[in-house]
């Protein structure tokens, strides 16, 4: 059973650091919403066959799904419910941002069975939020959490960011402490990335040597960012959260099942412009353009981007399983690896494991191989070895 992701490519306005595919809702882009929904209707009808037994979990992401006007959100949810069935007690998440949550929209989501909400708080500090072009205030984030709880959302994720311009260690601690005071079931902590083509990249793209990168509104340096991460891990674990993935923390039993599916190498269907699917080792990505997406579907074609479909080699799949699986505290199961690929992972990656043996990088517990906790944040170099290591 695959999971289902539906991409909503609209936000109120673009944040300064964002490289995801989404349109700020100007008068021009508002005209795209009906095309988007019409395209989605055609695409969903085409993909029912990919989930004959239904889907295991749902994630409506973006963009900002809650930026859609109420009647459009209703239409979107109707399309999903009409076209797909769900596993019993399936996790159904919607993302949203403070400043776009209304009582009516949240009640609607609950009525359609959305049982998890992921709120993009980023920081409980107006100055930091302004520094990266977020549309909302810290108070709107507080009000959002409260409204979600009042309306019965019992599984909430809060996203927070560290490494923001002007963010000191003490401001980071304040945001984490405030987030914890609401006892969310899940927390995602992401470091700010400077993505080319974004306003923030233009401001700080020269990295820490750039003129604007120092001073009170500059970027915290790498050491400070590492300290922020380390402090948060310790603090959240003391507060009872499981650090179950590099950037993700959950109260026991509230790990995000949808994302666990990606990290464990399960199949997924991603619909909407920019959506990515991987079924039976075929990966495909939809075009990031609402008009082109709609036009392809209207002509009876798949709305793919210029890369089209890619048949992943066994080698690619194995490397991906290692790279994603080792982000998880639970690591990679030897048995599952053998079942899925017909070979023992030690036969494929024995040389990588051997190379890092003295440095204590990997831990084998029973049927599982995982990364030593102390390497969790510096793991990219080690994980890249798995791309080279196969074959
Ligand atoms: S709200 Fe999220 S998706 Fe939209 S622009 Fe900001 S970071 Fe990007």
Closest residue CA from atom 2 of ligand 1: 63
Residue 201, CA atoms < 13 Å, CB-side half-sphere: 9
Give the model's confidence band at 377: pLDDT under 50 very low, under 70 low, under 90 confident, else very high: low
Give the model's confidence band at 383: pLDDT under 50 very low, under 70 low, under 90 confident, else very high: confident
Residue 104 has pLDDT above 70, yes or no: yes
Contact indicator for 21, 62 with CB cutoff of 8 Å: no
Region 103-112: mean pLDDT is 98
What is the percent of the chain where pLDDT is above 70? Answer: 95
How close is the Cα of 119 to the center of ligand 1, in Å?
A: 11
Region 347-373: mean pLDDT is 89
Calpha distance 65→320 (Å, rounded): 29
How close is the Cα of 106 to the center of ligand 1, in Å?
A: 19
Closest residue CA from atom 5 of ligand 1: 14
Question: Which atom of ligand 1 is nearest the CA belonging to 62?
Answer: 3
Residue 208 has pLDDT above 50, yes or no: no
Q: Tell me, what's the pLDDT at 378?
A: 64
Region 189-215: mean pLDDT is 78
Residue 375 has pLDDT above 80, yes or no: no
Domain architecture of the chain: domains with CATH: 3-263 (3.20.20.70), 314-389 (1.10.10.920)
Q: Tell me, what's the pLDDT at 183?
A: 98
Q: Tell me, what's the pLDDT at 127?
A: 97
Q: Burial level of 338, CB count in 10 A (0-12/13-18/19+)?
A: middle
Calpha distance 77→204 (Å, rounded): 39
How close is the Cα of 133 to the center of ligand 1, in Å?
A: 10
Q: Tell me, what's the pLDDT at 211?
A: 44
Question: Which atom of ligand 1 is nearest the CA belonging to 24?
Answer: 5
> Of 323, 268, 256, which is closest to residue 117 (Cα–Cα)?
256
Distance of CA 197 to the CA centre of its chain: 20
Q: Tell me, what's the pLDDT at 213?
A: 53
Region 59-87: mean pLDDT is 97
Give the model's confidence band at 389: pLDDT under 50 very low, under 70 low, under 90 confident, else very high: low
How close is the Cα of 18 to the center of ligand 1, in Å?
A: 6
Contact indicator for 328, 371 with CB cutoff of 8 Å: no
Which tokens sit at 151? 């309306």
Q: 161 CB less than 6 Å from ligand 1?
A: no
Mutate to test the pocket of ligand 1, among 23, 25, 62, 118 (most ligand atoms within 8 A of CB): 62
pTM: 0.94
Contacts of 157 (CB under 8 A, 6+ apart): 93, 116, 117, 118, 119, 184, 185, 186, 187, 188, 256
Residue 391 has pLDDT above 60, yes or no: no
Mutate to test the pocket of ligand 1, among 13, 19, 23, 120 (most ligand atoms within 8 A of CB): 120
Region 327-345: mean pLDDT is 96
Helix H or strand E encompassing 227: helix 222-238
Region 126-151: mean pLDDT is 98
Q: Tell me, what's the pLDDT at 145?
A: 98
Q: What is the per-residue pLDDT across 49-69, written as a single tens digit (0 to 9) for each?
A: 999 999 999 999 999 999 999
Which tokens sit at 308? 């089209």
Question: Which atom of ligand 1 is nearest the CA belonging to 13?
Answer: 5
Q: 121 CB less than 6 Å from ligand 1?
A: no
Closest residue CA from atom 8 of ligand 1: 18
Q: 11 CB less than 6 Å from ligand 1?
A: yes
How close is the Cα of 375 to the center of ligand 1, in Å?
A: 30
Q: What is the mean pLDDT of the chain?
A: 93
Calpha distance 20→178 (Å, rounded): 27
Q: Which residue has the higher pLDDT, 190 or 211?
A: 190
Region 245-261: mean pLDDT is 97
Q: 157 CB less than 6 Å from ligand 1?
A: no
């Amino acid at each position: 059973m695959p999971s289902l992701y539906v991409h909503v490519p609209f936000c109120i306005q673009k944040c300064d650091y964002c490289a995801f595919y989404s349109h700020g809702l100007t008068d021009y882009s508002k005209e795209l919403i009906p095309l988007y929904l019409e395209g989605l209707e055609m695409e969903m009808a085409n993909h029912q066959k990919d989930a004959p037994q239904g889907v295991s979990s749902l994630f409506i992401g973006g963009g900002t799904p809650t930026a859609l006007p109420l009647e459009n959100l209703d239409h979107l949810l109707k399309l999903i419910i009409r076209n797909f069935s769900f596993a019993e007690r399936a996790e159904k998440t919607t993302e949203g941002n403070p400043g776009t949550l209304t009582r009516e929209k949240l009640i609607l989501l609950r009525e359609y069975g959305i049982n998890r909400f992921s709120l993009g708080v980023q920081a409980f500090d107006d100055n930091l939020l302004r520094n990266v072009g977020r549309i909302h205030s810290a108070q709107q984030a507080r009000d959002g959490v409260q409204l979600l709880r009042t309306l019965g959302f019992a599984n909430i994720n809060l996203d927070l960011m560290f490494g923001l311009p002007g963010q000191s260690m003490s401001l980071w601690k304040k945001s984490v402490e405030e987030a914890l005071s609401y006892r969310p079931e899940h927390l995602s902590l992401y470091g700010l990335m400077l993505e080319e083509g974004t306003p923030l990249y233009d401001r700080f793209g020269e990295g820490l040597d750039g003129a604007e990168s120092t001073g009170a509104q500059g970027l915290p340096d790498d050491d400070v960012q590492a300290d922020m991460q380390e402090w948060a891990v310790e603090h959240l674990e003391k507060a009872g959260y499981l650090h179950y993935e590099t950037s993700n923390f959950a109260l026991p039993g509230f790990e995000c099942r949808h994302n666990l599916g990606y990290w464990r190498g399960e199949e997924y269907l991603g619909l909407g412009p920019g959506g990515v699917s991987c079924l039976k080792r075929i990966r495909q990505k939809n075009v990031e353009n609402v008009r082109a997406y709609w036009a392809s579907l209207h002509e009876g074609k798949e709305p793919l981007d210029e890369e089209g479909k890619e048949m992943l080699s066994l080698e690619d799949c194995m490397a991906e399983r290692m790279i994603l699986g080792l982000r998880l505290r639970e690591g990679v199961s030897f048995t599952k690896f053998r079942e899925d690929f017909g070979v023992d992972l030690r036969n494929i990656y024995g040389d990588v494991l051997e190379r890092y043996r003295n440095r204590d990088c990997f831990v084998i517990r029973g049927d599982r191989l995982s990364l030593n906790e102390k390497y969790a944040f510096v793991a990219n170099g080690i994980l890249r070895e798995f791309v080279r290591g196969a074959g």
